[in-house]
């Protein structure tokens, strides 16, 4: 059994919220007071894991990485079954993050395992590991995102009534897409490719006309989409994301506590809000819009699944967690992959709770209130907002609090 405090690593990507307005900055500072928040800097992501790009370190010894401790006794920390299943004696199978989003992230998708291995071999600079990156977002605040392609008939309606969209795609393909509902699925890739391969200058000209049309003929878009196009055009003027994102991807809104799961090769882009995010341990991002970073349009167009599930089907519904007991509420977000699940633990008033041993490693972060966390029967560690802890395999955890206390626990068990 093992439980000890760790310190996560901050990523200052340009789309993050600035300074103290960012939950990432607040948590990072609360967990390590030596972190000085620079109000002029964006604080986008707080990484909590062993990924070599930004590894977590021990609170008691910042020169020691979490992976150093794990490698000292992999079976104790990861659990025998996880070591055997994921074949690593130093790494966690998942990467846990807090994201605090001020501007839209890139229109992106992530590779599956075979594509991840190929991309890393061909272009290690842009694809830092060979892993797949399925991921799940759990909303801490109201959260807005693009997730997956819109239903085909919705894309068809926009294609027929928005002249700029039809001109980019071309009238022949637009007509074919309209005439045959049965062929739409196979034509979706051609429509997406036509948008993504239109020269930037031409896209920029069409985008200016599109934005003007949202002001002159908002009824063509509906109020939500017209506003979204105008809002994102301010962030990324004339960007292809206004077409491939706003007109082709599902626009979804999650309330705090709602979650969505994104399988590899599904197009998405987070737009606003604060979330917990958990993923297989990878940083492989294939980008194509709304970003100053490296874009890999050819790989993105050729690798997507082109599935068109409605937003409701992509939400990850919380389930009961019978291994938790006491005065807390437990909600388990358990997507259909092996690398991770996320447990929300919520105390609405003073009390205590306990969680039976999990057959693998966990990372716990306190996102609200304060209390104590301990190995069952041992002395408690103070746990307040921003506090992050590693919990080794088979560790019975005890929690107690004098008031409200909210924690998220990412774990893997095999
Ligand atoms: N969907 N979310 C993710 O995949 C995050 O884990 C990634 O780290 C971000 O997408 C990276 O975004 P940029 O490439 O900086 O636009
Ligand atoms: Zn992503």
For position 21, what pLDDT does the model report?
98
Is residue 278 over pLDDT 90?
yes
As a whole number, mean pLDDT of residues 308-320 equals 92
- Is the CB of 266 within 6 Å of ligand 1? no
For position 309, what pLDDT does the model report?
84
Of 213, 287, 323, 409, which one is the catalytic site residue?
287
Average pLDDT, the chain: 97
Look up the ipTM and state it: 0.98
Report CA(276)–ligand 1 centroid distance (Å): 13
As a whole number, mean pLDDT of residues 293-311 equals 94
For position 181, what pLDDT does the model report?
86
Report CA(177)–ligand 1 centroid distance (Å): 32
As a whole number, mean pLDDT of residues 308-315 equals 89
For position 171, what pLDDT does the model report?
97
Closest CA to 25 of 96, 94, 99, 136: 99
Ligand nearest to C-alpha 45: 1
Best residue among 136, 263, 285, 294 to mutate for probing ligand 1's pocket (most ligand atoms within 8 Å of CB) is 285
As a whole number, mean pLDDT of residues 242-258 equals 97
- Is the CB of 108 within 6 Å of ligand 1? yes
Query: Among the listed ranges 6-15, 42-51, 221-230, 307-316, which one has the minimum average pLDDT value?
Result: 307-316
Under 8 Å between Cβ of 274 and 230: no
Report CA(390)–ligand 1 centroid distance (Å): 24
Under 8 Å between Cβ of 211 and 204: no
For position 311, what pLDDT does the model report?
87
Helix spans in 236-340 (H): 241-244, 297-303, 311-314
Report CA(264)–ligand 2 centroid distance (Å): 9
As a whole number, mean pLDDT of residues 226-251 equals 98
Is 287 noted as a catalytic residue in this protein?
yes
Best residue among 108, 144, 254 to mutate for probing ligand 1's pocket (most ligand atoms within 8 Å of CB) is 108
- Phi/psi for 172 (5° steps) reads -65, -50
Q: Quick one: DSSP state of residue 320?
A: -
Take atom 12 of ligand 1 and give the residue whose Cα is closest.
105
- Is the CB of 106 within 6 Å of ligand 1? yes
Q: Which residues pair with 409 in a beta bridge?
A: 343, 364
As a whole number, mean pLDDT of residues 282-302 equals 96
Distances (CA, A) of 359 to 3, 71, 81, 140, 391: 14, 17, 8, 27, 11
CA–CA separation, 330 and 354 (whole Å): 11
Does the global pTM surpass 0.90? yes
Name the pLDDT band for 377 (thresholds 50, 70, 90).
Answer: confident
Closest ligand 1 atom to Cα of 290: 16
As a whole number, mean pLDDT of residues 262-286 equals 97
For position 197, what pLDDT does the model report?
96
Closest ligand 1 atom to Cα of 13: 15
Ramachandran bin of 342, using left for φ above 0, alpha for ψ from -120 to 50, beta for the remaining angles: beta
- Is the CB of 367 within 6 Å of ligand 1? no
Q: How many helices (H) and strands (E) does the chain have?
A: 14, 23
Is residue 252 over pLDDT 90?
yes
Query: Among the listed ranges 104-118, 174-188, 346-360, which one has the minimum average pLDDT value?
Result: 174-188
């Amino acid at each position: 059994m093992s439980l000890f405090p760790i310190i996560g690593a901050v990523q200052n990507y340009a789309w993050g919220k600035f300074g103290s307005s960012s939950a990432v900055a607040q948590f990072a500072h609360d967990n390590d007071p030596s972190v000085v928040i620079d109000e002029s800097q964006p604080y986008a992501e707080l990484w909590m894991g062993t990924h070599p790009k930004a590894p977590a370190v021990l609170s008691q010894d910042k020169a020691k990485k979490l992976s150093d401790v794990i490698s000292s006794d992999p079976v104790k920390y990861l659990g025998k079954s996880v070591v055997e299943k994921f074949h690593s004696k130093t790494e966690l199978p998942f990467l846990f993050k807090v994201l605090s989003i001020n501007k839209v992230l890139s229109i992106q998708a992530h590779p599956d395992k075979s594509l991840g291995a190929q991309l890393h071999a061909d272009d290690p600079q842009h694809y830092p590991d060979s892993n797949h990156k399925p991921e799940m977002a759990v909303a801490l605040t109201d959260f807005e995102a693009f997730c997956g392609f819109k239903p085909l008939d919705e894309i068809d309606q926009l294609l027929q009534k928005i002249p700029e969209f039809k001109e980019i795609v071309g009238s022949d393909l637009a007509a074919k897409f309209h005439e045959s509902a049965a062929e739409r699925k196979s034509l979706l890739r051609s429509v997406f490719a036509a948008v993504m391969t239109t020269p930037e200058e031409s896209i920029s000209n069409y985008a200016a006309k599109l934005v003007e049309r949202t002001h002159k003929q908002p009824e063509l878009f509906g109020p939500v989409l017209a506003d979204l196009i105008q809002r994102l055009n301010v962030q990324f003027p004339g960007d292809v994301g206004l077409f491939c994102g706003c007109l082709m991807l599902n626009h979804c809104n999650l309330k705090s506590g709602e979650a969505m799961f994104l399988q590899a090769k599904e197009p998405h882009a987070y737009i606003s809000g604060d979330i917990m995010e958990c993923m297989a341990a990878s940083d492989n991002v294939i980008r194509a819009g709304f970003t100053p970073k490296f874009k890999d349009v050819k790989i993105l167009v050729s690798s997507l699944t082109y599935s068109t599930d409605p937003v409701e089907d992509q939400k990850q519904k919380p389930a009961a967690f019978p291994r938790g007991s006491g005065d807390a509420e437990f909600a388990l977000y358990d997507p259909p992959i092996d690398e991770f699940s996320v447990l929300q633990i919520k105390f609405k008033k003073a009390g205590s709770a306990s969680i039976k041993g999990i057959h693998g490693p966990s990372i716990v972060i306190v996102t609200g209130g304060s209390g104590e966390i301990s190995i069952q029967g041992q002395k408690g560690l103070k746990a307040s907002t921003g506090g992050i802890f590693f919990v080794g395999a088979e560790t019975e955890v005890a929690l107690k609090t004098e008031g409200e206390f909210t924690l998220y626990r990412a774990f893997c068990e095999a």
